[in-house]
Structure 1
Amino acid sequence: MIGTDKMGHTYPGATVPFGSIQLSPDTDTIPYAVDGKYNPEVYKYCAGYQYDDTTIVGFSHTHFSGTGHSDLGDFLLMPTTGSLKLNPGTESNPEMGYRSRFSHKTEKAEPAYYKVDLDDYNIKAELTATTRVGMHRYTFPKTKESHLILDLMSGIYNYDEKNVWTFVRVENDTLVTGYRQTNGWARTRTVYFAMSFSQPITQYGHAKYDKTPYKGFWRKFDESKNFPEMAGEKVRAYFDFETKEDKPLLIKFSISPVSTQGALKNMQAEIPHWDFDRIKKEGQEKWNTELSKVQIVASEDTKVNFYTSMYHAFLGPTEYMDVDQQYRGLDMNVHSANGFTNYTSFSLWDTYRALHPLFNILQPDRNRDMIRSMMAHYYQSVHHMLPIWSHYANENWCMIGYHSVSVIADAIVKEILTGKEAHEALAACVQTAQTKYYDGLGNYMDLGYVPEDLNGSSVSKTLEYSYDDWAISQAAKKLGNMEIYNMFKQRAENYKNVYDSTSGFMRPRLSNGEFKEKFDPLDTHGQGFIEGNAWNYSLYVPHHPKKLIELMGGEERFVSRLDSLFSMELPDKYFEKTEDISREGIIGNYVHGNEPSHHVLYLYNWTHQAFKSHDKIRKVLTEMYKSTPDGLGGNDDFGQMSAWYIFSSLGFYPVAPGSTTYAIGSPSIEVAQIQLANEKTFVIETKNQSAQNVFVSHIEHDGIPLKKPFITHEDILKGGTLTFYMSDKPNPNYMNFN
């Protein structure tokens, strides 16, 4: 349940690692717009569920985890009894619709399992899942008035234009198929389904909310009841059953990106039986296998937060293909994933920073397949670009940068991606980075920066492009392509072009070469930044920390700036302009709830005061992550927040993916054993660990003292032991060898 309250935007339902199905309760359906204007209340429901809500609308099969925008919520099912109701009602008047009140006292959430009592109907609802199939178990009271609502109108972020078309076909008295085509965040998205019941339907029908009257079959049939085909933009169907208290209704619900036939194949392959408890057990065994890749000894709070973070980190990206490896591509054609597992939902502005680097340690084979999925996207793209933020065969063009190249470069330098495949991926990175019409990139290539008068969020874009360019240069160097290396090595220094030595900040620059006059380094609006301000983003040069220190006036001034970032207080006026900016996730002006700051505390390692990061890292670990529903200090962002926690609690962090070097911090565990894909074990242990002993006095690697606060990917893959000696006081001479 951690992260299901406030801004965490996680869901509590049933899923397996990287599964296509995320079968979870939705507690409200909020319109995206009210009177033609954006409704800020919708932001709370990115995952469909808010812990403080008192009613459940139903259980839908697809969800994002921890995102700051949303889509999905496909195929909402809701069991009811009594008089049939085909509208959801409202939280204040649930009896006006099919939703139900519920209590957290009867709610239980586990990996691959969710349970709750629907109080208004005396129904126990249980959910579990395989990769492509959700399984429901509903224990009804004995009645002839039991209904199952299939709401094809409901979706997360209910855009007015959400449903393009929906179709339901009753194949027989225990099998229903259909599809849903939507136009939301993803412009054109089609998901097919097959639904099988453990007992026959007694009758069925639907309510159709389209403005046009029925036109089919020249009115020869009553299409609203017991007619086996239902179609329209706005359809809610119902299926009736006779139920008994001792015989639950079981439902298998599979999805496919390709066809109803694909959905049926998925169901037959993954759940050919009706044993709910077996599916739950197998799903939990899959989770234990994944979670056991890191075994820790730690305080109870640390263990709960650590394994919750691993759970969240392994929720996505999600598999996106049928059991026969067919999937729908970006070109809307059906493709076959020959030799790899195809994945979708790439929230790359978030996850390139720590999640994909974590996969390179714990899930290298999956990360390789994720890159292969990105390459398939590239070949299918009319723009010949790698994904920016993509899901379900759509490119959303959300957020900035071209961070697929970071994921690819990190895999190349760490030898996850090799040979011809690596060279082809590098070529895709170069092509993506030279797409002039993309988001100010042409100006960036011509001028060396993105001008604010021609393209908003210009400073953030310049900084992120320059980092991505550095990542390309590192991949090219690894592969021996010195022409590409030299080209992008030069582009990687473009961050210097938006640094204003007068103010000491990165600052928006105009196309005439001048800096924008009105400038407030604390403001997040209209200042050239996205999800951050000049204080945060001026430290976003993860690939050249030493050069950034020199640019900002030397080590003494730089350390003072880092100190101030963590200790300063922001006036209230900076929290009043948007619902996205709140005091949650912020310590001083360090914004942990938004990703551009995630590497910042580790920048002390490039100074002679590396020890200053220790207490601050531990403060973030304890204040931004708690074992409560509101325990995340910001959106989990598809696992990025969680990946930060995993790395930082282990004691090291990938400041610049594309490098094989990790910066060392202050671990919160007592012992951790990382089971590597090469069958070796990397052990991290701490001496004198406690909540007070947050400073590292010295470190040994296999008994040899470390002289610099860094370890390499090669160090980890060799196995061995990294030993931290902890203290309640900083050691001024700690790693004073920079």
Structure 2
Amino acid sequence: MKKTLCLFFTCISLGAAAQTNVAEKLVPYVNPIIGTQRMGHVYPGATVPFGMVQLSPETDTPSYELNGKYNPDVYKYCAGYQYDDKTIVGFSHTHFSGTGHSDLGDFLIMPTVGALKLNPGTADKPGSGYRSAFSHKNEVSQANYYKVKLDESNILAEMTTSARVGFHQYTFPKSDQSHIILDLMAGIYNYPDKNVWTYLRVVNDSTVVGFRQTNGWARTRSLYFAMSFSKAFFQHGYKKYDQREVYGGFWGKFNRVKNFPEIAGKQIRAYFDFKTEEGEKIKIKFALSPVSMAGALNNMQTEIPGWDFEKVKADGQQLWEAELHKIEIAGNKEIKENFYTAMYHAMINPTVYMDADGQYKGLDQNVHKAEGFTNYTTFSLWDTYRALHPLFNIIEPKRNADMVQSMLAHFDQSPEHMLPIWSNSGNENWCMSGYHSVAVLADAVVKGNVNFDANKALDACVATAKHRDYEGIGDYMDKGYIPDEKSGVSVSSTLEYAFDDWAIAQMAKKLNRMDVYNEFIKRSENYKNVYDKAAGFMRPRLADGSFRQKFDPLSTINEGFIEGNSWNYTLFAPQDPKGLIALMGGNKRFVGYLDSLFTMNLPDKYFAETEDITRDGIIGNYVHGNEPSHHVAYLYNWTDKPWKTQERIRMILPRMYKPTPDGLGGNDDTGQMSAWYIFSTLGFYPVAPGSDQYSIGSPAVNGGVINLDNGKKFTINVKNQGAKNVYVQKITLNGKPLDGLFISHADIMNGGEITYYMSSKHK
């Protein structure tokens, strides 16, 4: 009887807590400033979930080259903003979130007063140009809202967005010389000759349209815009910085620097002049389109037909509320701020890439229409296949299935007939290694999240994995590994291909395509071919079958690996932990190897190898800031010391994630770092995407509820939670003891309840 009453009151308590959490506003816990300092490479500006517009300040736009050489400062500005900077150059409309490479930074706008200055000036002398000093005391960053006071002009800048439109609101002082500058030259990672062409046409005294064509990280990229002012400008003009002066359609016969009807060139800055009263607000709607200027105008009219800034802000924040409420947690303010900022960062990318009418420019540079799905871009797949897309299969199943359809459209449009590697804006960037889109497709199929032709998807995976001309695949197929002579990342590519092959095999098995399964499950064991038993490491192997003699397992330079060293990559076989343990000499030796990864002291000389390597994101020799290690702490679950997984996870969480500007231990990588945090904080993790199993960790919340799209709830209870109580004594699933250290995708999606019983002592 007492047990029954206890269960009854427990259910009442959980229900009441859930109702309370639903009513709680979660947007206030989002702090986009987290990660803007040092290596996080996220931006503090405004965007809606998965929005095409990311409207954010640039604190600098350094040139790609300095004195004819690569400028190392460029790496700091992958998101355009660094917290330690004291000036703002302007506000642009496109950004990557958390990448280690970049592009974008399109269409920079800056309001000014006084004498017109069309150069940006320098950080040490902001008054020498249009940039302005600012203070974090006068800065507000929220989900879909950014505000800052520009000290040089005493202008209050505010911005919010819809999916395809950036909405600016500038509060001016009284002045007869108020200007809004549109810089068509500015950009992030400004390669020499990145701007191929820009065009600007004045429709009337409050509307302009145009486009920008760039050849940057994305080789062939066109972006169109429509810009509308809430107040008519009384004059406008431009300055052209092209070496060869070209007057738009006039070809030099007219000299209309002021009040021009149109202008074109590679390097242009335009301005629009106003007379303002004290406290007068000038608003700007800036719509983007991947297709046309007409598409941009239609996007503007469709999404923000009026001028109610507060309504657009509120509507966007309500979209964030809906997304954030997909997981409701119990915990203190610090935990919630970390968690919901991670949720926010996880739902910025991939981004919508189509007009309101469904049209978009494809990989073949033709205009296509997305029929029955939303087309997405910004696929940083080397990062995001690991945890971000598995997270979407739980909380964003429709979006993830649409992302798969977007990848299949990419395949159809690809002249190479390959799935995306790292794609953006109708371009394939070919960045990083592996063919990890196959893992995203396999994970969706294995978990039953399919609104696409699964067999066609499998065929696309097979075609991609058999593209003999691509980055060593031919040698990999013939020899079972990529020879050291053929590739500078021969070992990591071999390991990543083997994992992707395993994912293809799981997909084929699900679809009963056993011929494909048998072929690719055999290929998935190729990871063993680059393991040197004598050395105890994965190691570059020559074409004649021998291992390279000179070899440093701690170095990241010229040792056959990408963004990692051999010590880390030796643990990269998430598809076969048992096989890896046997390969490395058994349980005892494997545990010792894992322990050493976290406890060793990596010598300083390895941090001096390149300007990008710092101690950010590193614990011992465990590199949390680089994704190949993200599954590593969970590998203890395949040994006789699974409690060490729990210990390591709870050690990593507070060291790599903090509610501070420098609170991300490495690039967020379009949400992968944040997705790791979300899973690990809840107590489980997808070690091998393409499997329906999640590995148990150690929950860091007091409890939570995953609100599923199917209307069901998966409730997470944590008993005896505490900073020292990191060890799991037992787990029950739907009231029954959990047998083992894994839960299935069906366990979550069917709804139910998991309860962790925590202790300060391991079993």
* Cα distance between partner residues in 2 of 1:712 and 1:95: 59
* Cα distance between partner residues in 1 of 2:332 and 2:439: 34
Offset at 1:218? Answer: 5.8
Alignment-derived partner of residue 330 in structure 1? 363
* Cα distance between partner residues in 1 of 2:76 and 2:651: 26
Alignment-derived partner of residue 514 in structure 1? 546
Alignment-derived partner of residue 73 in structure 2? 41
Q: Indicate which of 398, 402, 421 corresponds to 2:431.
A: 398
Alignment-derived partner of residue 609 in structure 1? 641
Count residues in correspondence.
730
1:240 alignment partner AA: D
Offset at 1:672? Answer: 0.6
Do structure 1's residue 263 and structure 2's residue 292 form an aligned pair?
A: no
1:492 alignment partner AA: S
Point out 4+ residue stretches in structure 1 off by more than 4 angstroms: none
CA 1:694–1:218 in 2, change beyond 3 Å: closer, same or farther?
closer
Do structure 1's residue 168 and structure 2's residue 161 form an aligned pair?
A: no
Offset at 1:594? Answer: 0.2
Q: Indicate which of 683, 696, 708 corresponds to 2:728.
A: 696
Alignment-derived partner of residue 448 in structure 2? 415
Alignment-derived partner of residue 211 in structure 1? 243
* Cα distance between partner residues in 1 of 2:725 and 2:311: 45
Alignment-derived partner of residue 360 in structure 1? 393
Alignment-derived partner of residue 238 in structure 1? 271
Asked if structure 1 preserves the Cα contact closer than 8 Å seen for 2:484 and 2:560, the reply is yes
Matches within 5 A, 1:87-486: 87-214=119-246, 217=250, 219-417=252-450, 421-486=453-518
Alignment-derived partner of residue 607 in structure 2? 575
Report the 3-state secondary structure (helix = DSSP H, G, I; strand = E; otherwise coil) of the residue aligned with 2:225.
Answer: strand
CA 1:208–1:681 in 2, change beyond 3 Å: closer, same or farther?
same
Deviations 1:445-480 (A, max 9, x none): 111001111111100000000000000000000000
RMSD: 0.9
Judge which range, 399-408 or 211-220, deviates more: 211-220
Alignment-derived partner of residue 594 in structure 1? 626
Q: Indicate which of 654, 657, 666 corresponds to 2:689.
A: 657
Deviations 1:284-317 (A, max 9, x none): 0000000000000012211111000000000010
Offset at 1:533? Answer: 0.6
Q: Indicate which of 622, 630, 648 corresponds to 2:662.
A: 630
Asked if structure 2 preserves the Cα contact closer than 8 Å seen for 1:326 and 1:335, the reply is yes
* Cα distance between partner residues in 2 of 1:667 and 1:377: 38
Deviations 1:147-194 (A, max 9, x none): 000000000011111100000000000100000000110111000000
Judge which range, 701-710 or 146-155, deviates more: 701-710
Asked if structure 1 preserves the Cα contact closer than 8 Å seen for 2:198 and 2:268, the reply is yes
Deviations 1:103-137 (A, max 9, x none): 00010001010000000001000000000000000
Asked if structure 2 preserves the Cα contact closer than 8 Å seen for 1:23 and 1:62, the reply is yes
2:224 alignment partner AA: Y
Report the 3-state secondary structure (helix = DSSP H, G, I; strand = E; otherwise coil) of the residue aligned with 1:427.
Answer: helix
Offset at 1:417? Answer: 1.6
Deviations 1:390-425 (A, max 9, x none): 00010000000000000000000001126x710000
TM-score after normalising by structure 1:
0.98
Q: Indicate which of 645, 649, 667 corresponds to 2:677.
A: 645
1:172 alignment partner AA: N
2:480 alignment partner AA: G
2:503 alignment partner AA: A
Asked if structure 2 preserves the Cα contact closer than 8 Å seen for 1:440 and 1:455, the reply is yes
CA 1:468–1:221 in 2, change beyond 3 Å: closer, same or farther?
same
* Cα distance between partner residues in 2 of 1:447 and 1:464: 16
Alignment-derived partner of residue 712 in structure 2? 680
TM-score after normalising by structure 2:
0.95
Q: Percent identity?
A: 65
Do structure 1's residue 718 and structure 2's residue 727 form an aligned pair?
A: no
Alignment-derived partner of residue 707 in structure 1? 739
Offset at 1:245? Answer: 2.3
Alignment-derived partner of residue 11 in structure 1? 43
Report the 3-state secondary structure (helix = DSSP H, G, I; strand = E; otherwise coil) of the residue aligned with 1:114.
Answer: strand
Asked if structure 2 preserves the Cα contact closer than 8 Å seen for 1:223 and 1:230, the reply is no
2:361 alignment partner AA: R
Offset at 1:213? Answer: 3.1
* Cα distance between partner residues in 2 of 1:177 and 1:405: 39
Structure 2 gaps of 5+ residues are 1-32
Offset at 1:606? Answer: 0.7
2:723 alignment partner AA: A
Asked if structure 1 preserves the Cα contact closer than 8 Å seen for 2:176 and 2:274, the reply is yes
Offset at 1:695? Answer: 1.0
2:645 alignment partner AA: S
Report the 3-state secondary structure (helix = DSSP H, G, I; strand = E; otherwise coil) of the residue aligned with 1:426.
Answer: helix
* Cα distance between partner residues in 1 of 2:232 and 2:710: 51
Deviations 1:184-221 (A, max 9, x none): 10111000000000010110000000111346636432
Asked if structure 1 preserves the Cα contact closer than 8 Å seen for 2:508 and 2:516, the reply is yes
Asked if structure 2 preserves the Cα contact closer than 8 Å seen for 1:176 and 1:195, the reply is yes
Asked if structure 2 preserves the Cα contact closer than 8 Å seen for 1:313 and 1:643, the reply is yes
* Cα distance between partner residues in 1 of 2:408 and 2:252: 50
Offset at 1:729? Answer: 1.2
* Cα distance between partner residues in 1 of 2:487 and 2:205: 57
Offset at 1:63? Answer: 0.3
Asked if structure 1 preserves the Cα contact closer than 8 Å seen for 2:539 and 2:566, the reply is yes
* Cα distance between partner residues in 2 of 1:573 and 1:142: 57
1:42 alignment partner AA: V
Alignment-derived partner of residue 76 in structure 1? 108
* Cα distance between partner residues in 2 of 1:706 and 1:723: 10
Report the 3-state secondary structure (helix = DSSP H, G, I; strand = E; otherwise coil) of the residue aligned with 2:273.
Answer: strand
* Cα distance between partner residues in 1 of 2:193 and 2:610: 25
Alignment-derived partner of residue 598 in structure 2? 566
2:211 alignment partner AA: Y
Report the 3-state secondary structure (helix = DSSP H, G, I; strand = E; otherwise coil) of the residue aligned with 2:159.
Answer: strand
CA 1:158–1:218 in 2, change beyond 3 Å: closer, same or farther?
closer
2:605 alignment partner AA: K
Offset at 1:247? Answer: 2.7
Asked if structure 1 preserves the Cα contact closer than 8 Å seen for 2:35 and 2:662, the reply is yes
Judge which range, 244-253 or 198-207, deviates more: 244-253
Judge which range, 694-703 or 185-194, deviates more: 694-703
2:517 alignment partner AA: Y
Alignment-derived partner of residue 96 in structure 2? 64
* Cα distance between partner residues in 2 of 1:308 and 1:683: 21
* Cα distance between partner residues in 2 of 1:219 and 1:368: 52
Report the 3-state secondary structure (helix = DSSP H, G, I; strand = E; otherwise coil) of the residue aligned with 2:280.
Answer: coil
Asked if structure 2 preserves the Cα contact closer than 8 Å seen for 1:27 and 1:57, the reply is yes
Asked if structure 1 preserves the Cα contact closer than 8 Å seen for 2:246 and 2:264, the reply is no
2:368 alignment partner AA: H
CA 1:131–1:436 in 2, change beyond 3 Å: closer, same or farther?
same
Asked if structure 1 preserves the Cα contact closer than 8 Å seen for 2:173 and 2:280, the reply is no
Report the 3-state secondary structure (helix = DSSP H, G, I; strand = E; otherwise coil) of the residue aligned with 2:216.
Answer: coil
Asked if structure 1 preserves the Cα contact closer than 8 Å seen for 2:246 and 2:265, the reply is no
